[in-house]
């Protein structure tokens, strides 16, 4: 069975299309109008081995907030849709990724219960190009709320804002990949003692 999610989300502020194939090869086609965010979503697809298409037309004449937030909401919804009934997946995933002086540790549970724990170094540079670095947590909050997963992201140290954010997206990609992959020893089994995820 294919595990593909497709979400179109349109408001007065943005128009978003997200398509994701969890069993892809990491092919991406990303265009949000926010260069650094495009770069991060590309990391998510490539390192998660998800085929990912994201097309967002947002009110960038105001700022990038609505564009970034609404894209993350649509991405979370598409990821949840692609997971389907979650039968036969690993469910849990974690990954630690270094990027020069920065380190990110990400752990995920595809639990059906949205929860986010997020820590990163204080006093980061406020902007990376047109990307507001305070949006990283908001992206994760929005994604978690729609994907309905538990996500812990911890950056214990780092100096360069670009590195701090990028290693989070790379580690997130790998953790999601490991959690969503099919477990050959658990074919047809839902990984929950409750009988529901």
Q: How far apart are CA 173 and CA 94, in angstroms?
A: 10
Over residues 80-98, the pLDDT tens digits come to 999 999 999 999 999 999 9
- What contacts 124, CB < 8 A, 6 or more positions away? 133, 161, 164
Over residues 34-53, the pLDDT tens digits come to 999 999 999 999 999 999 99
pLDDT band for position 119 (cuts 50, 70, 90) = very high
Q: Give the CATH number of domain 2-178; options: 3.30.230.40, 3.40.50.720, 3.40.605.10, 3.40.190.10.
A: 3.30.230.40
Q: What is the pLDDT of residue 196?
A: 83
Predicted confidence (pLDDT) at residue 1 exceeds the cutoff of 80? no
Ordered by start, the domain boundaries in the chain are: 2-178
pLDDT band for position 197 (cuts 50, 70, 90) = confident
Q: What average pLDDT does the structure give for the chain? A: 97
Q: What is the mean pLDDT of residues 150-158?
A: 98
- What contacts 112, CB < 8 A, 6 or more positions away? 148, 149, 196, 197
Predicted confidence (pLDDT) at residue 21 exceeds the cutoff of 90? yes
pLDDT band for position 194 (cuts 50, 70, 90) = confident
pLDDT band for position 12 (cuts 50, 70, 90) = very high
């Amino acid at each position: 069975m294919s595990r593909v999610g497709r979400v179109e989300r349109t408001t007065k502020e943005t128009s978003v299309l997200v398509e994701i194939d969890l069993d892809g090869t990491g092919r991406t086609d990303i265009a949000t109008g926010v260069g650094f965010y495009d770069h991060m979503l590309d990391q998510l697809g490539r390192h998660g081995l998800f085929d990912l298409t994201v097309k967002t037309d947002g009110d960038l004449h105001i700022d990038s907030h609505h564009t970034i937030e609404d894209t993350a909401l649509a991405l979370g919804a598409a990821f949840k849709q692609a997971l389907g009934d979650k039968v036969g997946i690993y469910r849990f995933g974690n990954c630690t990724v270094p990027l020069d002086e920065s380190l990110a540790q990400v752990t995920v549970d595809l639990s059906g219960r949205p929860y986010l724990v997020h820590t990163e170094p204080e006093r980061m540079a406020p902007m990376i190009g047109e990307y507001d670095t305070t949006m990283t947590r908001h992206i994760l909050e929005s994604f978690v709320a729609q994907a309905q997963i538990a996500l812990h992201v911890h950056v214990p140290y780092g100096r360069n804002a670009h590195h701090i954010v990028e290693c989070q997206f790379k580690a997130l990609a790998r953790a999601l990949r490991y959690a969503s992959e099919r477990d050959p020893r658990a074919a047809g089994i839902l990984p929950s003692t409750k009988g529901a995820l």
